[in-house]
Amino acid sequence: MNEDQDFNEALESDPAEKENLNPNDMLDSSERKKAETTEEGIGEAVIGAAETSAKNAKAHRDKKNVDDMQNAKIAELTADLQRTRADFENFRRQVDIQKEQYGNAVKYATVKKLLPLLDDIDRAIAANPDSLGPLEKNLAKTVKELGLSKIPTEAGTAFDPDLHDAVMVEGDGDEEVISEVLRPGYYFDQVVIRAAMVKVKKQ
């Protein structure tokens, strides 16, 4: 009698044992080993897939963290560059303004030093109109090119303390007008560089 016959006889002799029978018990040893190996292979494959998935997830998180750090660094450097550029633009504008102001100050000081010379030339022309008459036109042209223009001081012009410096006041009345010019005044680029020295008459 072989093993299969013994097993079948045992089943027939004990029905309760047949109900509690494990299917694996019905397999021979080689088949049971094969089934166990298959189950172990499936388990290892599942574990391997889970480990691979975890590694991939970790690699994805690490890459995202690196990308976030790089993006933050790029944003920081971009902001620094924009601030530096804005600072440089402000500095350049400030330098341009200072250069312009310095140039105007030098020009203003130079022109102001020329005013006494212009006064002397005016007096010379007034004393010798025949011989120095042609010089007056050239002088007027040069004065205009310098940005200078005379403050109006014709006799009868209303006195303006912002434009005229009164050294003498005559008469009695409510209206003040210029009676005589003692020294001409000048605008330089539309700004009073020197007030005109005048006599004032009240009428």
Residue whose entry in the numeric block shows the structure tokens 């009428």: 203
Decide if 11 is inside a domain. Answer: yes
Decide if 123 is inside a domain. Answer: no
Decide if 7 is inside a domain. Answer: yes
Decide if 102 is inside a domain. Answer: no
Q: How many CB atoms lie within 10 A of CB 118?
A: 18
DSSP 157: P
The residue ranges of DSSP E strands in the chain, in sequence order, are 148-150, 164-171, 176-183, 186-188, 191-194, 196-202
Query: Do 76 and 155 reside in the same domain of the chain?
Result: no
Instruction: Give the pLDDT confidence score for residue 65 in this predicted structure.
Output: 83
**Of the candidates 70, 94, 118, which is a domain's last residue?**
94
CATH of the domain at 179: 2.30.22.10
Instruction: Give the pLDDT confidence score for residue 74 in this predicted structure.
Output: 92
Decide if 66 is inside a domain. Answer: yes
Domain count, the chain: 2
Q: In sequence order, which ranges of 128-179 are alpha helices (DSSP H)?
A: 129-145
Query: Do 83 and 7 reside in the same domain of the chain?
Result: yes
Query: Do 89 and 8 reside in the same domain of the chain?
Result: yes
Decide if 99 is inside a domain. Answer: no
DSSP 151: P
182, 198 Cβ separation under 8 angstroms: yes
Query: Do 19 and 83 reside in the same domain of the chain?
Result: yes
Decide if 61 is inside a domain. Answer: yes
Question: Which value, to the nearest 10 degrees, does the dihedral of the CA atoms of residues 10, 12, 15, 19 take?
Answer: 70
**Of the candidates 47, 74, 94, which is a domain's last residue?**
94
Instruction: Give the pLDDT confidence score for residue 192 in this predicted structure.
Output: 92
Query: Do 90 and 8 reside in the same domain of the chain?
Result: yes
**Of the candidates 66, 94, 122, which is a domain's last residue?**
94
Instruction: Give the pLDDT confidence score for residue 198 in this predicted structure.
Output: 94
Assign 3-state DSSP to the chain and report helix, strand, coil percentages, each to 5. Answer: 65, 15, 15
Instruction: Give the pLDDT confidence score for residue 49 in this predicted structure.
Output: 73
Decide if 193 is inside a domain. Answer: yes
pLDDT digits (tens, 9 = 90+) for 22-57: 554 544 555 555 555 565 667 666 777 777 877 777
Q: Which domain holds residue 162?
A: 149-203
User: Residues of the chain whose pLDDT is less than 50?
Assistant: 1-3, 7, 10-11, 13-21, 24, 26-27
Read off the pTM: 0.53
